[in-house]
Amino acid sequence: MAWSGLSVQVGGMSSHPVLLAGTWRPSQSTGSFHAENPATGQPLPGDYPISSWADCDTALTAATAAAALLRAAPPETIARFLTRYAERIEARKTELVEMAHAESGLPKAPRLGDVELPRTTNQLRQAAAAVLEGSWAMPTIDTKLNLRSVLAPIGPVWVFGPNNFPFAFNGIAGGDFVAAIATGNPVIAKSNTSHPGTSRLLAEEAIAAVGEAGLPPATVQLLYRTSHADGERLVADPRTGAIGYTGSRSAGLKLKAAADAAGKPFYAELSSVNPVIILPGALAERGAKLAEEFSASALMASGQFCTSPSLILLVAGDATEQFIATVKTRLEAAPVAPLLSSAVARALAASVQTLQTHGAQVVTGGQLLPAPGCRYANTTLRVTGDGFLAAPEKLQTEAFGNASLLVVVRDIAQIATILGHLEGNLTGALYTDTQGSDDQHYAVLEPLLRSRVGRLLNDKMPTGVAVSPAMNHGGPYPSTSHPGFTAVGIPAALRRFAALQCYDNVRAARLPAGLQDKNPNGKMWRLIDGQWSQGNVGG
């Protein structure tokens, strides 16, 4: 049943309801907010509530009850939900794309309708397949000691969605949501305030799919916004099992501190400048092509990807100056797309100012643009290697948006020194020539860069993140809160929201299906006495 037109009176104004315990109901709110159209800078219709602790408490109580029921849910039931949800999203594609476009300013085609929405439904279907197959849970059996262990649901999961992917990372449809549901956990989604309407439409289809699959009604719940204090309280609540967070570093670290103090797993994507090293041979061989590649990558979605190349290292020389001049020309000729919100534009301006204050010089851009919309000039800055090393922390400030910093170093040795000062990043790239003249430099720099990034690229910009079992969308702190996990890639992403459970001398009939002697589906890989097998114990 669709509820798109539903609204309730809150504090004398019409406000959309929240989804709690299987029903759309008025929020016990402390106020309201509205989304804006970043292309025009104008508010969009519809008020959304800022939930009080009462809403959070209701959600946690309902999710706790749902978690107990979900533990007994057959894999087929969870997989049916994931599949039906994907189908329902596809059936409502036009309305979802229109809403996401209005709230984000991102193009309807190809970005939202042809790329991001299909990626979202693909994630759901990949997770359904992983649930049915079951190997993600890593069942392990030691017949000699009669010990058996398996990954199992961890409990209610809060998912905080980011502003830059209204579908694929949405709190109630994206990767963290999919992973938590696939592992058998209920999700309480906290919508990003930039796209509450998109989250609401997705939630309508999610709760309908819950009913069709026969899952507990509180398997999926949605709040739009809470106070910072309630955010810190809810991540630390004893009923919370784990948290998935994608967003700003400052807010994420406050939530992480609260979760850490309570011993709650907090999986966060926080900040990344994604260093790209262009070695001299590559620059001499194909400098114009590399300037084109970099410019296109840096401006993709106005630079609002967590993997956008924001820090470029080049060795001083004529080829580097020509590269910078070509980039300047390309950025000045390229259209300036709207940023995701006025808040993003203000934050970008503040970050660029920080870079300038600590020695970076503007090559082009460097200012907010007048109305209409939330726009910032396509921007590149430069600094010397010595200048970077004088303030390495400040010059790694993430400028989230269409801005990047070029570091022009003396020599390869100075690149190595800079790499020693880098924080953890999601990605890092090395460009080399095709004739081997850069190979010796690569051998020196690759180990240094490798330890600083989750995904290492060669001769490729980092802005694509494939939904592949081999993908690592994670990295050392502060790119994420834990370097051992990925937010993209099934089955690995599922394991973040699971707890390892061990059974010692437990009778066969009392064991979970995946730990019994008979392989429950004949496809699940299990580690039996040190050997991976799809067979039965003793078979």
Point out the residues that are catalytic: 269, 306
* Residue/partner pairs of 432-440 with CB below 8 Å, 24 or more apart: 432/279, 432/281, 432/282, 432/458, 432/459, 433/279, 433/281, 433/282, 433/284, 433/285, 433/286, 434/285, 435/281, 435/285, 437/280, 437/281, 438/279, 438/280, 438/281, 438/282
Q: Is 315 helix (H, G, I), strand (E, B) or coil?
A: strand
Are 252 and 245 in contact by the 8 Å Cβ rule? The answer is: yes
Q: Is 150 helix (H, G, I), strand (E, B) or coil?
A: strand
Report the alpha-carbon distance of residue 284 to residue 292 in Å, rounded: 14
Continuous segment of H or E residues that includes residue 18 = strand 18-20
Nearest partner of 352 among 368, 332, 373, 328, judged by Cα: 368
Nearest partner of 302 among 335, 273, 261, 329, judged by Cα: 335
The residues pairing with 15 across neighbouring beta strands, listed in sequence order, are: 8, 47
In this structure, the number of other CB atoms found within 10 A of the CB of residue 499 comes to 15
Q: What is the largest CA-CA distance in the chain?
A: 74
Distances (CA, A) of 175 to 99, 132, 265, 489, 491: 20, 18, 17, 9, 11
Segments of 116-193 assigned E as strands: 140-142, 147-153, 157-160, 187-190
List strands edge to edge, sheet with 18-20: 23-25, 18-20, 220-223, 187-190, 157-160, 242-246, 266-269
Q: Which residue has the tokens 């300047």?
A: 328
Query: Would you give the distance in Å from CA 325 to the centre of its chain?
Result: 34
Q: Between β-strands 8-10 and 157-160, what pairing exists: parallel, antiparallel or unpaired?
A: unpaired
Residue 369: HSE in the Cβ half-sphere, 13 Å Cα cutoff: 19
For the record, the structure tokens of 133 come out as 């197959």
Report the alpha-carbon distance of residue 410 to residue 389 in Å, rounded: 12
- Determine if the peptide bond prior to 49 is cis (ω within 30°): no
Continuous segment of H or E residues that includes residue 458 = strand 453-458
Rg of the chain over CA atoms, in angstroms?
A: 24
Nearest partner of 444 among 477, 407, 411, judged by Cα: 411
Nearest partner of 140 among 521, 510, 512, judged by Cα: 512
Q: List the alpha helices (DSSP H) in 300-438.
A: 318-333, 342-357, 385-390, 412-419
For the record, the structure tokens of 330 come out as 């390309």
